[in-house]
């Protein structure tokens, strides 16, 4: 033992360093030894589970399945996390509202919310109604955990056997999750969110609560939501008084309310009700003898007008009402901005275009928004069939606008000192490794800005963005009313940042009004049942705000009017009306647009596919422009036309569209003597090739002369 009173001898520095090095070596040596022994013990432990022979591939397969399954669950959970944000809001609040919608003239056009006067508890509903719904929509509802695995597998087998979709595999809980939180988009992302939300509903609600919410929230056609409202609409009686045949008819509406709505197609509704009765017998809820009377005496609905309700517009307005209505007010009457004459014209224009040329162009969906220059929405089409899909493509779908975004670039250029006559070089241009090309793959040399917009040249807006930057372009779009956030990228001037159809109609309205920003709205007034006005749009928002100078707005109208008169938008021309606008076509022909305006309306039209599948070379100057023209001929019929800024009114047209019906005398929206869109497209291409050949003819003739003996031309 060292004497504590003897001072410790100080070690030399080199000896101290050796001591530290030795300690480090010892630590890592012992760590390696202990790790090796632990690894050996682990191997010896797991060796007893080693499988040989036929067992080995089985266990290898199970191991890989567990690994891939865990990875898949992690990915699915990551995709579903955004869906759970929806449960944070008061998603039950819709049941607190009872909103009656009126058009701009005061006529009732529909209702939204679960109406209090048709609310019934589950015990008050007829047993045969509940049984009909369960037998048709989800027979194992009270047995599964929100996702019916057996039912899904059975549906897959039946669909594979039939070679198409004949059965749905979604449970009632999944359908409720879709109705309350999601849209009808047919995407994998939506199905994953739907599955997780179904599990959440099962964990937080009882089966009876889920079934009651489903019966109250489902769309039943005719603008009616829930079995209570549907019973009143179709049969004029409370749901508690329904007979078996009437319950079967209502239960048949859940699959396709528009197709089987009895006030639109009574034979189809009765055929579907007969299928529901068969389902009830197969499910064991009733015998064939109990349903035979209902088969022989099918339900007869009360007489209703077969005019469809503007459901996409009503859904959008309902969300607006919930945002604007004072707290505590739930029973409301809303005077909207919609004009039903124009709404019917918009629906007919979209449907006729898709029916006539949709298959030829490979396009399945369309959307249209039309507003006056203040922003009051007069017509809205959010898709081809509300019964098939309630997803509003006019307000919720964000799609690339393509060249229809270029006017924002040109407006920014005008504010930076350019004019419509400013000369820009149309030649190859690159930003880094990105080199955009023109649609025609040709270049015109030095051209004016007006020519660049008229012929939708891609290099011109790109060169402009290089000159003054891309941020002013994004700020211009936002200033004019585009509410979707703009992504500032190299390709922004060519329209690669997604927007909505409503955005485009709003932005273009600022040009037509001479520089004032439109405020898109569908609610003009909100009243109580006693007539008290609790919200008025004009009082709440004041006068419109100027966002462009008169000179810039006038120059933009001049250039966009030239697009319609001499450029890519010629098919949108209306006799006797000044038209301005811009076409838009995105890469791989996924989206086609025409956005245009007159002195009275700004209207945006989009055509494409929900799954982003490429169309058959559909461009904005063909079917979208023609759809726009079909609708706007009706919108501009027999009204006093307002001139566009700086553009005189053309001579009045000789053949006005009758204003009473909003259709030409023959009942068709197509103008007389028009060719089908594919034919016009082919003729346009032939015209372009003829011009190219004509321009190249002198050079070819000179070459032929030089090559011939003696300098003479040969054939």
Tokens of 293: 């009377």
| DSSP code per residue over 189-223 | HHHHHHHHHHHHHHHHS-HHHHHHHHHHHSB-STT
Could you count the other beta carbons within 10 Å of the beta carbon of residue 149?
Answer: 12
Nearest to 564 by CA among 496, 611, 471, 632: 632
What is the spatial distance between Cα 596 and Cα 560, in angstroms, rounded to a whole number?
9
Phi, psi (5° rounding) for residue 365? -130, 160
Distance of CA 652 to the CA centre of its chain: 37
Distance of CA 380 to the CA centre of its chain: 13
Q: Are 146 and 194 in contact (CB under 8 A)?
A: no
Place of tokens 């989206």: 591
Nearest to 591 by CA among 564, 611, 571, 568: 611
Give the residue numbers annotated as catalytic, written as ranges: 137, 403
Nearest to 178 by CA among 137, 233, 128: 137
From residue 658, how far is each of 372, 423, 575, 603, 654 by CA, in Å? 20, 45, 14, 21, 12
Counted residue by residue, the chain has a size of 715
What is the spatial distance between Cα 128 and Cα 633, in angstroms, rounded to a whole number?
50
Q: Are 306 and 263 in contact (CB under 8 A)?
A: yes
Name every residue whose Cβ is closer than 8 Å to that of residue 440 and which is 6 or more positions away in sequence: 688
Place of tokens 């990875």: 71
| DSSP code per residue over 628-659 | HHHHHHHHTTTS-PPPBTTBPPPPPPSSPPPT
List the 523-527 sheet strands across, edge first: 108-112, 98-102, 331-336, 523-527, 533-536
From residue 423, how far is each of 240, 444, 461, 514 by CA, in Å? 74, 12, 12, 25
Q: If residue 379 lies in a helix (H) or strand (E), which one and from where to where? A: strand 377-381
Q: Are 617 and 561 in contact (CB under 8 A)?
A: no
Phi, psi (5° rounding) for residue 149? -65, -45
Angle between helices 406-415 and 459-468 (to 10 degrees): 40
Tokens of 300: 């007869």
What is the spatial distance between Cα 544 and Cα 516, in angstroms, rounded to a whole number?
6
Phi, psi (5° rounding) for residue 183? -115, -175
Q: If residue 560 lies in a helix (H) or strand (E), which one and from where to where? A: helix 550-566
Could you count the other beta carbons within 10 Å of the beta carbon of residue 49?
Answer: 7
Q: If residue 122 lies in a helix (H) or strand (E), which one and from where to where? A: none
Please, is 483 exposed, middle or buried when counting C-beta atoms within 10 Å of its C-beta (0-12, 13-18, 19+)?
A: middle
């Amino acid at each position: 033992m060292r004497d504590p009173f003897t001072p410790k001898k100080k070690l030399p520095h080199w000896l101290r360093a050796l001591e530290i090095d030795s300690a480090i070596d010892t630590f890592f040596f012992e760590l390696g030894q202990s790790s090796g022994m632990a690894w050996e013990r682990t191997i010896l432990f797991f060796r007893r589970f080693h499988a040989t022979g036929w067992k080995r591939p089985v266990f290898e397969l199970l191991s890989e399945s567990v690994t891939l399954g865990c990875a898949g669950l992690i990915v699915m959970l990551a995709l579903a996390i955004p869906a759970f944000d929806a449960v944070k809001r008061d998603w039950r609040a819709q049941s607190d509202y009872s909103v009656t919608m009126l058009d701009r003239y005061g006529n009732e056009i529909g209702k939204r919310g679960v109406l209090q006067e048709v609310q019934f508890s589950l015990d008050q509903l007829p047993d045969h109604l509940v049984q009909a719904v369960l037998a048709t929509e989800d027979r194992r509802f009270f047995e599964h955990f929100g996702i019916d695995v057996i039912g899904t597998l059975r549906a897959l087998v039946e669909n594979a056997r039939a070679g198409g979709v004949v059965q749905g595999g979604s449970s009632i809980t999944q359908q409720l999750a879709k109705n309350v939180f999601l849209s009808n988009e047919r995407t994998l992302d939506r199905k994953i969110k739907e599955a997780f939300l179904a599990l959440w509903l099962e964990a937080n609600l009882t089966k009876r609560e889920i079934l009651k919410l489903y019966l109250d929230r489902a769309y039943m056609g005719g603008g009616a939501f829930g079995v209570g409202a549907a019973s009143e609409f179709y049969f004029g009686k409370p749901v508690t008084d329904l007979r078996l045949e009437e319950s079967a008819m209502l239960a048949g509406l859940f699959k396709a309310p528009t197709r089987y709505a009895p006030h639109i197609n009574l034979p189809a509704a009765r055929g579907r009700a007969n299928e529901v009765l068969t389902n009830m017998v197969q499910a064991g809820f009733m015998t064939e003898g109990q349903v035979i009377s209902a088969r022989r005496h099918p339900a007869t609905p009360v007489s209703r007008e077969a005019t469809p309700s503007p459901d996409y517009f009503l859904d959008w307005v309902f969300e607006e009402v919930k945002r604007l209505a004072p707290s505590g007010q739930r029973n409301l009457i809303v005077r909207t901005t919609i004009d039903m004459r124009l709404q019917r014209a918009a629906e007919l224009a979209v449907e006729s275009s898709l029916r006539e040329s949709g298959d030829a162009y490979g396009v399945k969906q369309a959307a249209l928004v039309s507003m006056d220059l203040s922003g009051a929405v007069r017509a809205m089409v959010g898709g081809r069939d509300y019964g098939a899909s309630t997803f509003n493509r006019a307000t919720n779908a964000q799609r690339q606008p393509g060249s229809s975004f270029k006017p924002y670039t040109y407006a920014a250029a005008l504010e930076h000192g350019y004019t419509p006559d400013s000369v820009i070089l149309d030649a190859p241009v690159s930003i880094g490794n990105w080199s955009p090309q023109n649609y025609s793959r040709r270049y015109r040399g030095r051209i004016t800005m007006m020519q660049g917009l008229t012929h939708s040249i891609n290099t011109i807006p790109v060169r402009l963005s290089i000159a003054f930057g891309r941020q002013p372009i994004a700020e211009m779009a936002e200033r004019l009313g585009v509410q979707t956030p703009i992504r500032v990228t190299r390709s922004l001037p060519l329209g690669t940042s997604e927007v909505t159809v409503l955005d485009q109609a709003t932005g273009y309205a600022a040009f037509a009004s001479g520089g004032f920003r439109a405020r898109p709205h569908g609610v003009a007034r909100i009243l109580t049942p006693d007539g008290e006005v609790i919200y008025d749009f004009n009082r709440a928002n004041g006068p419109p705000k100027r966002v462009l100078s008169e000179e810039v707005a006038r120059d933009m109208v001049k250039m966009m009017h030239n697009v319609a008169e001499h450029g890519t938008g010629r098919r949108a021309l209306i006799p006797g009306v000044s038209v301005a606008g811009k076409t838009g076509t995105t890469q791989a022909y996924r989206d086609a647009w025409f956005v245009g305006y007159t002195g009275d309306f700004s209207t945006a039209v989009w055509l494409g596919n929900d799954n982003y599948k490429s169309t058959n070379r559909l461009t904005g100057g063909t079917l979208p422009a023609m759809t726009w023209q079909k609708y706007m001929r009706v919108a501009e019929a027999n009204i006093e036309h307002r001139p566009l800024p700086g553009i005189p009114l053309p001579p009045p047209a000789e053949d006005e569209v009758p204003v009473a019906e909003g259709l030409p005398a023959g009942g068709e929206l197509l103008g007389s003597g028009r060719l089908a869109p594919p034919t016009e497209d082919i003729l346009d291409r032939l015209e372009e090739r003829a011009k190219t050949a004509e321009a190249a003819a002198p050079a070819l003739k000179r070459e032929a002369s030089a090559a011939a003996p003696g300098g003479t031309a040969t054939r």
